[in-house]
A and B are shown apart, each in its own frame.
Chain A
């Protein structure tokens, strides 16, 4: 068999990402506390943040003097946790629904069709923001968990639909008929017949979905919709103001959005490229796994 370059590239990229998330914050050149250094001395001159790219700050800094590289590394863990959380929840809901709806009739089928219609009637991004702005979620101390739930829910229908299509196609196979003729219970059929056959596709789609979730987080970041509760503080005019206290890459984008108005792109492109890197890692891995599973199928 030809070497599966995509799979190994994806695995290496992802391994580096996980390593950076796990061990990165303890490296000597990473500022774990993300201190705001608004002024610093360089060659006898007092320099004001944002700092240029240099050995002291390899990716530059934000206008408040937070080192970009440190923030990316510190935020990696949080970002990955959110991404995996959303995807796992999405599949935990979508896969059983799709399996149950495999006969294309009954309550679960109706529910799936309904969910799909609901969340495809509006772009998923707008739907997410609409739900995220409900005060109950917006001001909840557990906002992050609600947001994970919302982001999972908006695409659950799509996952369910894909699983349903596969299940329906599988149920036409003759070995499924054999299982039914043996009088196996439905649960047993799912466990021993459907899930093993679906698993390769599910794993591939899961990897690709990780990338999609990360893109959604980035899009929310561009719209300055925070995932975290942040802390609400008193601002001007007796109003309050959300202050971002999270370090995930999406909120890092939203912290830099005002910079765009003065034409500064240096800091915003750092989290954007971090997202691109992670999305590429997930996509390489997914595509590589697809080839790997296809290869196994052919050898048999």
Chain B
């Protein structure tokens, strides 16, 4: 147990080092294409890279200048502010995904025997296979043109939470529903279920106490991947709403622009800080999933 934990920690650490090394690659082009005058060339600038890595290490160890953002703000408050804007939506969407998704999964499973199957599993499958930006753009179009009492771009107030929350939780609900329905289907018809039914236990109790609680652990293994997925779709939601939470702040820190050159405002320390936060978040998701699974398994 201890050995595997140590190994996992070592892997995480080496991953973090590689991420740092990728992030610290200098973003200023090393020169221009000969004869072009302006067009930058993507040569690899070793001396700049080495200097950047050593400056970063010095700042990290405390004997260099402290990290600053492009607006000359201290780093940690900026990271915290960005995280705070996204975390609530992230966890609310995860929770809603699992609660509503389980209900929809039960509904889908119940429908799967009838003629209206397309209303259950079919609709879930169809919505789940649509790209997330389709839903976002359609929602944006609808709100702006037909329901503009809803403030799509709200930065504070109730809409600042509700709009991204609903947009972020659509996909998780259908994702969880699909897994729940499949998981129930594999559990149903097993010997112990038939035994319970043969003993005359009411169907409702068999379903909730036996089938559902035994299929939950399988659903909960998807907790961490779903969390990462929401984080990723949150980037697009924040991008379209122009609301700077953690994923969008990270994207801004890349300073990827097709105009005005790229890399002038690159913020490596901020990217690494947010990457560490994301890694911690993923581990928290894994831990929650693991604990919830264990709770179900022990019952």
**Contact stretch, chosen from B10-18, B62-70, B98-106:** B10-18
Residues in chain A within 8 A of chain B (CB atoms): 113-114, 117-118, 120-126, 129-140, 211, 214-215, 218-219, 222-226, 230, 232, 234-242, 244, 253, 260, 263, 265, 268-269, 272-273, 275-276, 279-280, 283, 287
Task: Select one of B12, B27, B41, B239 contacting A223, CB under 8 A.
Answer: B239
Q: Which B residues are CB-close (under 8 A) to A138?
A: 42, 262
- B131 partner, pick from A124, A225, A268, A279, beta carbons under 8 A: A279
Query: Chain A's nearest CB lies how many Å from the CB of B16?
Result: 8
Closest 9 CB pairs of A and B: A123-B232, A139-B42, A242-B258, A135-B42, A265-B141, A283-B129, A215-B131, A136-B42, A133-B256
Given contacts A136-B42, A272-B131, contact A114 B235 (CB under 8 A): no
Q: Are A222 and B236 in contact (CB under 8 A)?
A: yes
Q: Is there contact, CB below 8 Å, between B40 and A117?
A: no
What CA separation (Å) do A62 and B108 show in the bound complex? 41
Complex partner residue of B19 from A118, A225, A230, A242, CB under 8 angstroms: A118
- Residues from 18 to 53 in B contacting A, C-beta threshold 8 Å: 18-19, 22-23, 25-30, 37-44
Given A223-B235, A238-B38, 19 new contacts (CB under 8 A): A113-B11, A117-B11, A117-B12, A123-B278, A126-B247, A132-B256, A133-B262, A135-B27, A135-B29, A136-B42, A138-B262, A222-B133, A223-B236, A225-B256, A240-B40, A253-B133, A265-B140, A265-B145, A276-B134
Contact call A126/B235, Cβ cutoff below 8 A: yes
Q: Which of B226-262 contact A (CB under 8 A)?
A: 228-229, 231-232, 235-236, 239-240, 247, 250-251, 254-256, 258-262
B125 within 8 A of A: yes
B87 within 8 A of A: no
Complex Cα–Cα for A111 and B107 (A)? 41
Interface residues of B in 135-168 (CB under 8 A from A): 137-138, 140-141, 144-145
Task: From A135, A222, A226, give the contact of B258 (CB < 8 A).
Answer: A226
Whether, in the assembled complex, B198 has its beta carbon less than 8 Å from a beta carbon of chain A, the answer is: no
User: Which of B22, B129, B260, B263 contacts A130 (CB under 8 A)?
Assistant: B22
A232 & B231 in contact (Cβ 8 Å cutoff) = no
Q: A112 to B228: give the CA distance in the assembly, Å.
A: 19
A218 in contact with B145 given A114-B14, A123-B235, A131-B22 (CB within 8 Å): no
Taking the closest CB of chain B, its distance from the CB of A173, in whole angstroms, is 19
List the A side residues contacting B254 at CB < 8 Å.
129-130, 133
Name A211's contact: one of B26, B28, B129 (CB within 8 Å).
B129
Set B137, B140, B229, B261: member contacting A239, Cβ < 8 A? B261
Residues of B within 8 Å of A219, CB to CB, are: 131-133, 236
Nearest-CB distance from B92 to chain A (Å)? 18
Contact partners of A117 in chain B: CB under 8 A: 11-12, 15
Please, which residue of chain B has its CB at the minimum distance from the CB of A232?
A: B39
Given A118-B19, A126-B251, A241-B259: A272 and B137 interface contact (C-beta under 8 Å): yes
A216 nearest in chain B by CB position: B131
Shortest CB-to-CB span from A143 to chain B, Å, is: 9
B216 at the interface (CB under 8 A from A): no
| B144 nearest in chain A by CB position | A263
Docked pose: A253 CA to B129 CA in angstroms: 19
User: With an 8 A cutoff between CB atoms, is B130 at the interface?
Assistant: yes
> In the docked arrangement, what's the CA distance between A235 and B258, Å?
11
A130 touching B23, Cβ below 8 Å: yes
* Interface pair B232/A124, CB less than 8 Å apart: yes
Q: Smallest CB–CB gap between B47 and chain A, Å? A: 15
| Interface presence of B193 (CB below 8 A) | no
Q: Given A123-B247, A268-B137, A272-B137 in contact, is the A135-B129 Cβ separation under 8 Å?
A: no
CA–CA, A226 to B19, complex, Å? 23
Whether A279 lies near B129 (C-beta < 8 A) is: yes
Taking a contact as CB atoms under 8 Å apart, the answer to whether A136 and B44 are in contact is yes
What are 19 A-to-B residue pairs whose CB atoms are below 8 Å? A118-B15, A120-B225, A121-B275, A122-B279, A126-B235, A126-B250, A130-B271, A135-B28, A223-B236, A226-B258, A230-B258, A232-B40, A236-B260, A241-B258, A263-B144, A265-B141, A269-B137, A276-B130, A279-B129
